[in-house]
Amino acid sequence: MLRGALDALLQAVVIHDGNGRVVFRNRHAEDLATPRHSDALAARAVDELLHAVAAGGGRTGRTLELHGPPRRVLDLIGEAIEDSEGAVVGAIAVIDDISERRRLDAVRRDFVANVSHELRTPVGALTLLAEALKDEHEQAVVDRLAGRIADEAERVGRIIEDLLDLSRMEADTSLPGDAVPIAVAVARAVERVQHGADQHGVEVSINCESEETEVRGDERQLISAIANLLDNAVKYSDVNTVVSVGIARDGAWVDVAVRDEGIGIPSSDLERVFERFYRVDRARSRQTGGTGLGLSIVRHVANNHGGEVTVEPREGEGSTFTLRLPVAEA
């Protein structure tokens, strides 16, 4: 019964007898007995900890960082086992894998730092513009400063709106089971970005091979994801170029591919383009008013719907982002 209880723990447990021999490992601790280098390092650290507490008594602990792959962080706690007379008869170690906890803490810290940084820039600009406007009497300058203030206020609003969208999508664990015609979602997404495309002098074209195809999920999220792909493509495209969006069925999947003729993505940036606030070209993103959250929103929508989003870069020639979604069963 005791063995079953220890096996049910999420932590690894190793017990030594008074001679320093292993007398018990629960099922999670068995993983440390593999020949893999990182596991061997962890097993050696556990043995050293157990021998230390057996020799000195009491309780001690340490944190072990294993560079992997995969990278792991283990929290080791060792304590001496004493009999009724206080003599040390063995030692027990509990190994807790805190890798995910550390990763989430790092994500939270980075997120707070990024949000603070992204909001500081437009808020600082608003402060400077307001101070300049306060003492300005020339109407042309007043109009120009007022226009700049409106632009920066709109930028803050977009950042907050994208953050709220991202928060809602992360919280949505159960999506509506509605069947959404993917062609309708694409058409509405194009409508949403058409004005911005016209302002940038970019043409948006639709190539739909599967008008009747439906996916099951949240129509609002799907439209938001496609619109973010289109908006991203438009902002990184040059004047008089074309952004195309195509719909193609591939068995049980449907692909929504957004292709642009813009600046492309360097191979060094491919692993990070879906991170929050990450921008390939920061200077250009500042000019176009991008928040750096669009592709992160797309990734969350894809995950929520059991799909994926991929990118095919052509540096200097443009990029193709493909949102792949499972087709709704009839």
- Please answer whether residues 245 and 209 qualify as being in contact, where contact means their C-beta atoms are separated by less than 8 angstroms: no
Same domain, 131 and 188: no
pTM for this structure? Answer: 0.60
Sign of the alpha-carbon dihedral angle for 29, 33, 39, 41:
positive
The residue among 276, 281, 297 whose CA lies nearest residue 166 is 297
Integer Cα distance of 11 and 186 in angstroms: 47
264-281, pLDDT tens digit by residue? 777 666 667 777 666 655
- Domain range holding 120? 99-171
Please state, for a pLDDT cut of 90, what percent of the chain lies above it. 20
Integer Cα distance of 241 and 259 in angstroms: 11
Same domain, 235 and 274: yes
Same domain, 250 and 309: yes
Domain end among 50, 81, 97: 97
Tokens of 111: 């997120």
Integer Cα distance of 23 and 156 in angstroms: 61
Which residue has better confidence, 286 or 110? 110
Least confidently predicted of 121-135, 228-242, 284-298: 284-298
Same domain, 52 and 77: yes
Please give the pLDDT value at position 256. Answer: 93
Same domain, 120 and 84: no
Mean pLDDT, residues 173-199 taken together: 85
In this prediction, residue 284 has a pLDDT band, given cuts at 50, 70 and 90, of very low
33-75, pLDDT tens digit by residue? 776 777 788 888 888 888 888 887 788 899 988 887 778 899 9
Number of domains composing the chain: 3
Least confidently predicted of 98-107, 222-231, 319-328: 98-107
Share the mean pLDDT of the chain: 83
- Please answer whether residues 36 and 66 qualify as being in contact, where contact means their C-beta atoms are separated by less than 8 angstroms: no
- The single-letter DSSP state of residue 32 is G
85-95, pLDDT tens digit by residue? 888 889 999 99
In this prediction, residue 113 has a pLDDT band, given cuts at 50, 70 and 90, of confident
Mean pLDDT, residues 226-252 taken together: 90
Same domain, 187 and 300: yes
Please give the pLDDT value at position 238. Answer: 86
Same domain, 194 and 58: no
Same domain, 89 and 140: no
Question: Is it the case that residue 288 has pLDDT exceeding 60?
Answer: no
Domain end among 108, 143, 171: 171
Strand partners for 95: 12, 76
Please give the pLDDT value at position 285. Answer: 47
Integer Cα distance of 128 and 119 in angstroms: 14
Please give the pLDDT value at position 176. Answer: 65
Amino acid residing at 96: D
Same domain, 107 and 217: no
Domain end among 37, 72, 97: 97
Same domain, 197 and 306: yes
Same domain, 92 and 208: no
Give the SS3 label for residue 64.
strand
Please give the pLDDT value at position 268. Answer: 62
Question: Is it the case that residue 287 has pLDDT exceeding 70?
Answer: no
